[in-house]
Chains A and B, each alone.
Chain A
Amino acid sequence: MKYRLFGALFILFFLAWRTLDGLVEGDWGRLEGGLSNLGVFFSESMWPPNWSVLEARSYPVCEQDIEFFCSVGYLGMMETLKIAFVSTVLGFVGAITLSSLAARNLMPLSIALPVRIFLSAVRSLPSLIWAILFVIVIGFGPLSGVLAMTFYTIGYLGKLQYEVFEGMANDPLEAGRAMGLSRPSILLNIVIPENSNHLLSQLMFMFEYNVRHGTVIGIVGAGGIGYYISTYLKFLQYDKVFALLIIIFVVVVVIDLLSLMIRSFVNEEGDVRKPTWLNTIIAAKKKQA
């Protein structure tokens, strides 16, 4: 069994390598010196990170007691977090409505199929394209970002959710149906509580995803820290870009820890050991190990 697995992995790796070779048309010379180029670029342009991004901007004048609250890093990150938060919440509500209509064990095929096609259509456009569309339609700013991320969240979470619903045990649904509970009641009182762990996990994953992608959509003018990254890139200020990337990394790690903490309230692990900050971090380290 073990050898078969290794054999299958080897074949997959070989196929991937052959495909890559086809894609670069055998011109592997391009990679020569790539690593040293990267080292030179990193040491000369990006290192050390320029932490002036955490100091107050020169304009508009800072009216806060603490300079940090007027900094590019703080303001950009907060705007990205706000965009991600609003779009995740709106997207989650939209997705749960649509995914309950798309799940085959909750709805007949005649309803599930068109909803699935709709979700696929929404999902087929990446958040960046949604952002460009909304920037064209309603102009630059965070509202375009919120709408872009909301639509993408609906498409992406919708699929994850209906797959979770379809995978749930059938007996609670059967008991609910036999006793005469209505479809909305089955969704609210059986399906959602029974899948709360998965739904929370997906919600936190989507929030983290939206924070990371919030930086990308900012580049096309849809608000957030990405706007500043795009500006610094234009002016070749890579040390400031690197500082902003470190801020994003720290925020994503904190969200991941928050996600572990929140999920431990609904998963079986939480039954054995009440969740605390400490054992959340220890659990995270164990997983990495």
Chain B
Amino acid sequence: MSEGVVLSLNDLVIGYDEPLSEPISLEVKPGEIIAILGPSGIGKTTLIRTIAGLVRPLEGDFDLHVKRRGGLGYIPQRLGLVRHATVAHNVSLGARMNVPWSRTMFQERNERTQEAIRTLGIEEKAGEPVRRLSGGQQRRVATARTLAQRPELMLADEFLGELDQHNVDLVLGAVHELVGKGTAVIMVEHHEDNAKDFATRIWEIKNKRFSDMSIEEWELHTSAGEEE
């Protein structure tokens, strides 16, 4: 294992029955923000779900160098919220992780929950069931859950969808706070502008080919594609 690496993919081939990519080998370091781009149905979600441990790789493997409990934060495409529970309950699920046992444990969990709710601007909805919230508000709840968790690696699948620009800035600001504390972020993103503004690296999947690029390389690659 390389020093300061949260995730390493070793000739990883993703897919369910058929491979969706060529073998992928790379490393992710703390504080990196990676946006996965590519057309729909190409395997972006499968890659995220494989790293989250929900889908078995077809070939190769990957090493997660994070705590077994609470080291990984995950926002699925459908957000994974408990719809009949309150906003506060959902956010507190994240705050259960990464708080060591102590006499002040419950107080600390509560503080983390409240802080995450405040950061995402959903204080007024804290006592309401998630099912009553709009799609955009639900996305903020899912982000608040991960914020309260403070994971070492955050996986997010299209978590900026349905958000207006103000809320995109709010959510990305909150995620930046996490990144500042050393969290690495891997996110599936459809809007290239968001990826360009926010990410430090781009993973692109196209025709089963996987490319790992810096933002500058990706911009060059995109403009070259447009000229062709």
Contact = CB atoms under 8 A, between A and B. Distances in A.
Interface of A: 169, 171-182, 185, 189-190, 193-197, 266, 268, 271
Contacts of A181: 69, 93, 96-97
Interface stretch (B11-19, B72-80, B103-111): B72-80
A175 B81 CA distance: 8
Contacts of A266: 84
B68 interface: yes
Interface centre among B84, B94, B149 (most CB of A within 10 A): B84
14 contacts: A171-B80, A172-B81, A174-B49, A176-B93, A178-B73, A178-B155, A179-B72, A179-B149, A180-B69, A180-B97, A185-B96, A193-B82, A193-B84, A193-B89
B76 A174 contact: yes
A199 to B, nearest CB: 10
Contact of B85 (A174, A175, A193, A271): A193
B80 A176 contact: yes
Given A174-B80, A266-B84, A179 B151 contact: yes
A179 B84 contact: no
Interface residues of B, number: 35
A-B pairs, top 7 by smallest CB distance, nearest first, are: A175-B80, A180-B69, A178-B74, A193-B85, A178-B52, A171-B80, A171-B78
Contacts of A178: 52-54, 72-74, 155
Contact of A180 (B67, B75, B79, B85): B67
A177 B53 contact: yes
Contact of B72 (A173, A180, A182): A180
Given A179-B149, A268-B131, A190 B72 contact: no
A180 B70 contact: yes
Given A181-B93, A268-B131, A194 B72 contact: no
B71 interface: yes
Given A174-B52, A178-B53, A190 B82 contact: yes
Interface string B140-182: 0000010001010001000000000000000000000000000
A113 B124 CA distance: 45
A196 B129 CA distance: 12
Given A179-B97, A180-B69, A189 B82 contact: yes
B208 interface: no
A189 B93 CA distance: 8
B132 interface: yes
A169 B80 CA distance: 9
B191 interface: no
A280 B77 CA distance: 37
Contacts of A268: 131
Nearest to A198: B84
Given A175-B79, A189-B85, 14 more contacts: A171-B78, A172-B80, A174-B52, A178-B73, A178-B74, A179-B73, A179-B74, A180-B67, A180-B71, A181-B93, A190-B93, A193-B82, A195-B84, A268-B131
Contacts of B94: 179
Contacts of B83: 194
B28 to A, nearest CB: 16
Contacts of A189: 82, 85, 89, 93, 96
Contacts of B75: 175
A68 B72 CA distance: 64
Nearest to A182: B69
B189 to A, nearest CB: 19
A193 B97 CA distance: 19
Contact of B68 (A169, A180, A185): A180
A196 B84 contact: yes
A175 B131 contact: no
Interface string B48-59: 010011100000
Nearest to B73: A179
Nearest to A175: B80
Contacts of A180: 67-72, 97
